[in-house]
Amino acid sequence: MPEQVYILWGLAAPLAFLLTLMYRHWAQRQGVVDTPNSRSAHTTSVPRGAGVAFILTFVGLYWLLPETSLAFDGLCLAGVAIATIALIDDLRPLPARVRLGGYAIIIALFLVGFVVSDQVANMAPFPVLVSYPLIFIAVLWHTNLFNFMDGTDGLATIQALTVLVAASSLISIGGTAPDLGQAQQSMLLLAAALAGFLPLNWAPARLFMGDAGSVFLGFMLAGFAVLTIGSSTLGLAVWLILLAAFIGDASYTLIWRMTSGQPFLEGHSLHAYQRVTRLWGSHRRTAYLLLSVNVLWLLPLAWSARIWPELGVWMVMLAYTPLLLAIHWCRRLA
């Protein structure tokens, strides 16, 4: 890695921390706060929308990286566009159809412009016309599910941070793809920015990342997956395993609410992580649980899928089966 990259990584955390402090001061003065309601996991008003701090840090330093590529440039620009829509929604709520429609258009343009032409063939054993809609749906879903899962202090930050560090480490194992350096540099730069944001988002949180931060992270992780799978840098199984904690909880809960006749389009607090937080009465313990699952369970399985790609399907099944059983059991909790 060029020395300039290490300097940028070192700058990202303190810069993000400083910008987060500045945003918190501004949001308190302007009244941009999240007021508790019946579904909230907090009891006091907390500044929201602070995800702009790590977004600005990442985007600003990204353009100083010595190695860039059109695909990753497009990912960064699309992430900014999605975050902009979400930030507007944080400050002045938008109709759901406008917000989701905007996300969908940006994701479609990103995939058309930077993936389909030469990389989508590696994404799945299907023709392009079949795989493209599947990839589009997957990216759109992951972009939104991160917002669903950002409901307790530090949880979404821990998820993104651990996945980014794990993925950037795993691509070094036998990696020779042209985008290898770009993928590592970009993912670790975003991870460093999140490390600067985490102290103020950690329980008890002094601020929330808001929709701007959560949908940005959901899209960026999905985008990193698309580009690294497309360039054969990391396999689909590896990403499915690394992202399993959030995918499992959000997807199971949505399917359960749909099949049981509940108003699944309405807000709720029925995710497994929310039930566990209420049971324990601690946001911090829930974040530690997620960290333990990611590091002690999912990372070794992702490593195995990376070393032995032919066992990828089995590793994915091994990763999701106990998670889904645990999520199902959590339905017994209040």
- Tell me the mean pLDDT in the region 194-210: 95
Residue 276's CB is within 10 A of a number of other CB atoms, namely: 20
pLDDT in the model for residue 54: 97
Map residue 33 onto helix, strand or coil.
Answer: strand
State the burial class of residue 25 (Cβ atoms within 10 Å of its Cβ: 0-12, 13-18, 19+). exposed
Of the listed ranges 127-136, 171-180, 249-258, 300-309, the least confidently predicted one is 171-180
Look up the pTM and report it. Answer: 0.92
Question: What pLDDT score was predicted for residue 134?
Answer: 87
Q: How many other C-beta atoms can be found within 10 angstroms of the C-beta atom of residue 28?
A: 15
> What are 210's two structure tokens?
């808001």
% of the chain residues with pLDDT over 70: 89
**Contact predicate 167/224, CB 8 Å:** yes
32 vs 281 pLDDT, higher one? 281
Residue 234's nearest CA partner among 160, 170, 187 is 170
Amino acid letter, 57: T
Residue 299: predicted pLDDT: 97
Least confident of 25-29, 111-115, 222-226: 111-115
Per-residue pLDDT averaged across 210-233, rounded?
92
Reported confidence tier of residue 114, pLDDT bands at 50, 70, 90: low
Q: Using the predicted structure, report yes or no on whether residue 129 has a pLDDT greater than 60.
A: no
Distance CA 37, CA 290 (A): 25
Residue 306's pLDDT band (cuts 50, 70, 90): very high
Phi then psi for residue 47, to 5 deg, are: -55, 140
Reduced to 3 states (helix: H, G, I; strand: E, B; else coil), residue 34 is: strand
Helix (H) or strand (E) holding 305: helix 299-307
Per-residue pLDDT tens over the stretch 38-70: 555 555 678 989 999 999 999 999 999 987 788
pLDDT tens per residue across span 17-39: 999 999 999 999 888 887 765 55
Tell me the pLDDT band of 314, cut-offs 50, 70 and 90: very high
Burial of 95 (0-12, 13-18, 19+ CB in 10 A): exposed
Give the dihedral of Cα atoms 159, 288, 19, 48; nearest 10 deg.
80
Name the band, by pLDDT with cuts 50, 70 and 90, for residue 126: very low
> Average pLDDT for residues 213-218, to the nearest whole number?
97
Rounded mean pLDDT of 259-276? 86
